[in-house]
Structure 1
Amino acid sequence: MQRNERIAGWLFISPMLIGFTIFMFGPLLFALVMSLYDWPLLGEREFTGLANYKELFEDKTFKVSFINTFVFSAGLVPMNILLAMGLASLLKNKFPGIGFFRTAIFVPAVTSLIVWAIVWKYLLAPELGFINQFLALLGIQGPAWLLNPSTAMPAVIVTSVIKNVGLNMILFLTAMQQVPKDLYEAADLDGASSFRQFRSITLPLITPTIFLTMIVTTIGAMKVFGQIYVMTRGGPMDSTKVLVYYIWETAFRHYEMGYASALAFILFFILLVFTLVSWGVRKRWVFYEN
């Protein structure tokens, strides 16, 4: 009987496993094979072993794109999580118009990324953009946001935060609403301030959600591509060229499929190490209620 149940279980999940193998593991293994070859899009393929990986250590563009990816992630993740947590704290209690504010903050998260990036590209235009025109009314001369190496990356980071903060806000909002209210009532009786209640009650009890959003947001930040492609094309002067954009450029502009595959596996390895390390240290600061 147990054997029949096991067979039935495997049969039920087999369509998903087959699809996952064909569309995930298959291409992953094929890309691994490609990374071991000099694999031009057109022309002869030549097995080179680990030559593509060795070339990474001498590739200055790879180093720049790696640093840019780290800068983008280091700027976006804390800003996104802190802003989402702050918005959730403000919107967790009911007041007139709360539905409008929640919707307005969440709508960008479900808006097309390409459309969002195109709109912000025009908003940040040097002369006719709304941002600089508004600054001009205040007597401030706005910079060429996306054409200046010192402002291009911050501009992309801020627009990306605004785009995705609504999703994390909903996660934090749900977690905060599940905190037992009697804990706050007891804190009020003890005379604890709102900040002390947030630090001693809310924050420890929502650490599982903080951990989840941190992992998901970091992985998403390290895979950023769409807004970079639309808004800056990796420029100016490679100041916004991140790893995924460099992988795309190597594969579909320079047609070096083998080297692009090696770059992709380096990114995969970085994300894997980050996930494993984060998972390993979670017990030191993530609180789980019994």
Structure 2
Amino acid sequence: MTLLLDKPTSRVAPAGKAPYWTMRRRDTLAGWLMVAPQLAGIVVFVLVPLGLVVWYSLHEWNVLAGTFNFVGAENYKAMASDARLGPVLRATGLFSVGLVVLNLSLALFLAVLLNQKLRGTVVFRTLFFSPVVVTLVAWTIVWGFLLQDNGGVNAFLNLFGIDGPNWLRSGGTAMVSVIVVQLFKNVGLNMVLFLAALQGVPAELYEAARIDGASAWARFRRVTVPLISPTILLTMILTIVGSLQVFAQIAVLTQGGPGTSTTVLVYYLYQQAFQFHHFGYGATLSLVLFLIVLVLTAVQWRMRRRWVFHEA
């Protein structure tokens, strides 16, 4: 009697030849499939637009006339001889430095206060964080009315006999006004991030420092700041990048004036591209902005090993 054996359901690799789909290759394929959506987003929304901006910067594109002419490095030469670019970069630097210093300092100060076991801290957390969820344009329009010559801020100052200036039309106060408006808009976000970091600092470290005789300032400088330094790095990068991309506040409050005192790089880029229809030159300026953000972020990331906890 002959026994009929079923055919094997799996193919066995020939002797001496390893199968193609090894465990390592399957894991590699699974990894690429998982990151594929993110990579596709980076290619479509970052690399392709960046390449197009570089391409546009080599052309003079007049939408009204319907012309698109290759000009090579002419836009870069025009940028090098642009007399307005220097004041624009200075205004951008002034806005960024002022906003970053005030935002991080005030946010950390508020977080330290709200981290204390005091009554009413929940109310104050909500009060300081609520501007973050308000629409940016609505927030800016309200502040535009408050900062007018006969607005709410000057009306409040008149109660104390102080004649306030026209905040948004004076070169000495326009930039300060824009910085303050942006400061109160976003300080709550950094405050919440700092507050979360402070609540993660072990209480035993404070107690040990107190037993050793360390003062409150010494405990803050030697214990608090090192342990929340990763959060400081995160908020610093986010705030610097955000300050370099400010547009709505300038467009609504000052339109870059008076003169060019509040004309930051993003608003100047907008003027060249969409008001004066110099799209090629606008693309060139956008590359300058991209390089500034890239360099500042890279420098901060490189310097983190010198002061960020756990990075040394």
TM superposition score normalised by structure 1: 0.96
1:87 and 2:91 matched: no
Amino acid at match of 1:85: L
1:287 and 2:309 matched: yes
Which residue is 1:150 aligned to?
A: 172
Pairing 1:233-252 to 2, within 5 Å after superposition:
233-252=255-274
Find the partner of 1:217 among 218, 239, 257: 239
1:184 and 2:209 matched: no
CA displacement at 1:192 relative to structure 2: 2.4
CA displacement at 1:267 relative to structure 2: 0.7
Identity %: 49
Partner SS for 1:60 = coil
The aligned length equals: 289
Q: Evaluate the alpha carbon distance shift between residue 140 and residue 172 of structure 1 in structure 2; reply closer, same or farther with a 3 A threshold.
A: same
Deviations 1:187-219 (A, max 9, x none): 222332222211111112111111111111111
Pairwise CA RMSD of aligned residues? 1.4
Q: Evaluate the alpha carbon distance shift between residue 8 and residue 200 of structure 1 in structure 2; reply closer, same or farther with a 3 A threshold.
A: closer
Amino acid at match of 1:107: S
* Conservation of the 8 A alpha-carbon contact between 2:229 and 2:307: yes
1:27 and 2:49 matched: yes
1:196 and 2:239 matched: no
**Distance (Å, rounded) in 1 between the aligned partners of 2:93 and 2:193:** 25
**Distance (Å, rounded) in 1 between the aligned partners of 2:116 and 2:206:** 13
Deviations 1:24-69 (A, max 9, x none): 2211111110001111223322211111111112112222211110
1:165 and 2:155 matched: no
Which residue is 2:99 aligned to?
A: 76
Structure 1: which 4+ aligned runs deviate by more than 6 Å? none
CA displacement at 1:274 relative to structure 2: 1.0
**Distance (Å, rounded) in 2 between the aligned partners of 1:12 and 1:199:** 42
Higher RCO by CA contacts (8 Å cutoff, separation 6 or greater): 1
Pairing 1:257-272 to 2, within 5 Å after superposition:
257-272=279-294
CA displacement at 1:289 relative to structure 2: 7.7
Partner SS for 1:45 = strand
Find the partner of 1:44 among 50, 67, 75: 67
Which residue is 2:14 aligned to?
A: none
* Conservation of the 8 A alpha-carbon contact between 2:273 and 2:279: yes
Question: Hey, which of these two has a bigger chunk of helix by percent?
Answer: 1
For the pair shown, the structure with the greater C-alpha radius of gyration is 2
**Distance (Å, rounded) in 2 between the aligned partners of 1:104 and 1:256:** 43
**Distance (Å, rounded) in 2 between the aligned partners of 1:185 and 1:22:** 52
